[in-house]
Amino acid sequence: MDHYDLIVIGGGPAGEKGAAQASYFGKKVALVEETPQLGGACINTGTLPSKTLRESALYFSGLRQRGLYGIDYSLREGLTMQDFMHHKDDVVESERNLVRKNIAEHAIDLYVGKGQFKGANELAVLSGDGKTITISAHVFLIATGSRPHRPAEIPFDDQSIFDSDTILEMNRIPQSLAVVGGGVIGVEYASMFAALGVKVTLLDSRDRLLPFLDAEISELLRLRLEELGVVLQLNGRSKHFGKTAGGIRIELESGQCIEAQMALFAAGRRASVQGLGLHKVGLAVNKRGYLEVNEFYQTTVPNIYAAGDVIGFPALASTSMEQGRVAVCHAFGFNYKKRLAHMLPMGIYTIPEVSSVGETEESCKEKSIPYAVGRGHYANNARGQITGDKQGLLKLIFRRDDRKVLGVHIIGESATELVHLGMIVLESGGTVDSFIEMVFNYPTLSEIYKYAAYDGLGNLAGHKLREG
């Protein structure tokens, strides 16, 4: 039996980075991945494919050109699913190769097969050809990710009714699409297909789009989606889901019906732990379907850690990578990566992009934090004019008494890039004055921070300061 310092189960972002971190500090590491493809949902079915398809949708629809030149470009004639998926396939394969290279360069032993605990220190690896190998380790990191929730009452066939993984396998672009679930994944795909000219209906049981967002940003996103042609059915609950000769039919509790050629069911995910043999080591998922961990990503079994989507929120590739690193550093006592940053950014790749970090106006009110707000509009920014985005908004929230930045919320071009500048000021305890003191390249979208800060100080003083 081969023995390791660390066995990582799962080759997604958390598993790869955790394994590489341990190897970097001289530990003997094995990585067990069930599929031949490394990268997990991040590379293969989730993060990168959907974000790459977003760029393809913008390219083929000509949305950016419309903003730049005022020309109503029609969708490229004869666009096929192969055309649409081509760039995605290239990006995915390139990233898979990078992960393979990282594993090889760190001399990590890779086992392709299903991992199953035999005890707190032993793991059986069941390969596709029926062979079983048993390996052992002092420490384990479970990073098996998550899978889409597929309720029994939904007649999934992956032909006309898809989940958020199998949507990538559709063989044609539909004329109409019903998206059930207004979470991040559902909203991203809704905007993407709407940009391609697909008639999209988005159904969600909540009364507000992405309610974790600042309410003003959420409302702006709703308006932009409606401009794209998305029909929003908020406060809507499905009663019956069936197939028709032309596609699918959803009956709502309200009595309304939604008909479309295809449907995407994107209402939740669950930890991928089936077959792991968790009961053999005294572990089980919680009521939400995820593994429980402490602040070091350690489970109730001291030598077994878990990171990434398998532990639930925030279930982002960016945080999963860092969780894997923190877990391994704690397990072996490395004086290196001891915690995640206090503030974690949220990036939503809708059309337009949305990104946020820190407090919202609503959370400040709930916590009784006296706050002020500063807004910077893309329409008043030279680079915003150049890029053609005249509807974007950068919003700063800061404390009234000491002007410390509390939150940054952006909707518009490059939002997921821009948020990091504000996040650094926030994480370091900086004030809104920091943005006024900075010198920004001109013309850049980053300069919007300066004018959002001017606006905020004007609001704090009860009058508008002269900018300049």
Q: Examine the pLDDT at 122 and tell me if it is beyond 50.
A: yes
Cα–Cα distance list, 278 to 8, 140, 142 (Å): 15, 12, 10
| Entry field: residues in the chain | 468
| Residues β-bridged to residue 280 | none
For residue range 73-104, what is the model confidence (pLDDT) as tens digits? 455 555 666 666 777 778 778 888 888 898 99
Nearest to 415 by CA among 354, 374, 357, 358: 354
Both tokens of 119, joined, read 């005890």
pLDDT band for position 306 (50/70/90)? very high
CB 406 within 8 A of CB 396: no
What was the pLDDT predicted at 69? 47
d(CA 304, CA 8): 10
What was the pLDDT predicted at 67? 53
Both tokens of 413, joined, read 């071009």
Q: Within a 10 A sphere around the Cβ of 160, how many other Cβ atoms?
A: 18
Mean pLDDT of 301-305: 96
| CATH number for the segment(s) 352-461 | 3.30.390.30
pLDDT band for position 66 (50/70/90)? low
d(CA 6, CA 19): 8
CB 193 within 8 A of CB 203: no
Most confident of 253-267, 326-340, 341-355, 404-418: 404-418
| Residues β-bridged to residue 115 | 125
Residues of the chain above pLDDT 90, percent:
59
Nearest to 107 by CA among 14, 23, 31, 3: 23
What was the pLDDT predicted at 202? 95
pLDDT band for position 38 (50/70/90)? confident
Q: Within a 10 A sphere around the Cβ of 60, how many other Cβ atoms?
A: 18
Q: Examine the pLDDT at 463 and tell me if it is beyond 90.
A: no
**Residue-by-residue DSSP string for 62-90:** THHHHHHH---PPPPTT--HHHHHHHHHH
For residue range 189-213, what is the model confidence (pLDDT) as tens digits? 999 889 888 899 999 989 899 999 9
What was the pLDDT predicted at 47? 63
Task: Supply the angle between the helices 184-195 and 47-61 in degrees, to the nearest 10.
Answer: 20
| pTM of this structure | 0.85
Nearest to 233 by CA among 245, 214, 250, 212: 250
For residue range 404-417, what is the model confidence (pLDDT) as tens digits? 999 999 999 999 99
CB 307 within 8 A of CB 18: yes
d(CA 29, CA 25): 11
Q: Which class in CATH covers the domain with range 2-147+270-332?
A: alpha beta
For residue range 412-448, what is the model confidence (pLDDT) as tens digits? 999 999 999 999 999 999 999 999 999 999 999 999 9
| Residues β-bridged to residue 347 | 355
d(CA 398, CA 374): 8
CB 81 within 8 A of CB 53: no
What was the pLDDT predicted at 448? 97
CB 291 within 8 A of CB 285: yes
Mean pLDDT of 238-259: 89
Q: Which of 133-147, 219-233, 289-303, 327-341 has the lowest mean pLDDT?
A: 327-341
CB 330 within 8 A of CB 298: yes
Q: Examine the pLDDT at 453 and tell me if it is beyond 90.
A: yes
Domain boundaries, the chain: 2-147+270-332, 161-267, 352-461
More confident of the two residues 287 and 312: 312
What was the pLDDT predicted at 167? 86
Tokens 């948020």, located at residue: 419
Residue 232 DSSP code: E
Domains 2-147+270-332 and 352-461 share a fold: no
Mean pLDDT of 38-53: 68
What was the pLDDT predicted at 72? 52
Nearest to 31 by CA among 66, 3, 6: 6
161-267 is classed CATH 3.50.50.60: yes
Strands 247-252 and 238-244: antiparallel
pLDDT band for position 271 (50/70/90)? confident
